[in-house]
Amino acid sequence: MKKQHNSLVPRRQSLMVLSVLVFVIGMFPLAAQAQDASLQDSSPRRALEIITKTQRQTFEVEVTRTREQRARGLMFRKEIAERDGMLFDFGHDQEIRMWMKDTLIPLDMIFIESDGRILRIEQNAEPESLRLISSNGPARAVLEVKAGIARKFGILAGDRVIDLPVDP
């Protein structure tokens, strides 16, 4: 008599492995969102005011203080409020180069000199691009805001940013 092979055991094992993989893969977005939320809360926030020729505009921004915070920036965020932003303060004037790698939303990048004057604005920086975006001259900081904000509020090179944080 021929012994019958039980093919249910390998199928059960395969189904169990597949179920575990689906569960683990499904958990990654939750872990990324939790990590993203904790990073958002770890940067200090402050109000900045931009004075244009015709008006004043106030923004509440996260301030990056560490190299790690500057490296992460607004990466992986899916939205940014109209009056929110992130300020990258490099502590002294220098040529600054930024990119949009792993940044999912378009941004306006406002390059600011030590005296608070806006040196230049890169409007509507392309998400997930590796193209280097330069300050095109010495700047101390970069304010990233939602794309279109500079145009909407009439923010131009030469306008002034006040309450620019000073490193302790």
Position 149 pLDDT exceeds 90: yes
Centroid of chain to Cα 47: 18
The DSSP bridge pattern shows strands 107-112 and 118-125 to be antiparallel
Task: Tell me if the pTM is above 0.85.
Answer: no
Residue 28: CA count within 13 A, CB half-sphere:
5
The larger pLDDT score, comparing residue 46 to residue 135, is at 135
Pick from 55, 56, 162: nearest CA to 115: 162
Q: What percent of the chain has pLDDT over 90?
A: 46
> What is the per-residue pLDDT for 51?
96
Helical (H) or strand (E) element with 2:
none
Residue 97: CA count within 13 A, CB half-sphere:
3
Per-residue pLDDT reduced to its tens digit, 49-103: 999 999 999 999 988 877 776 667 666 677 887 898 989 898 899 999 998 888 8
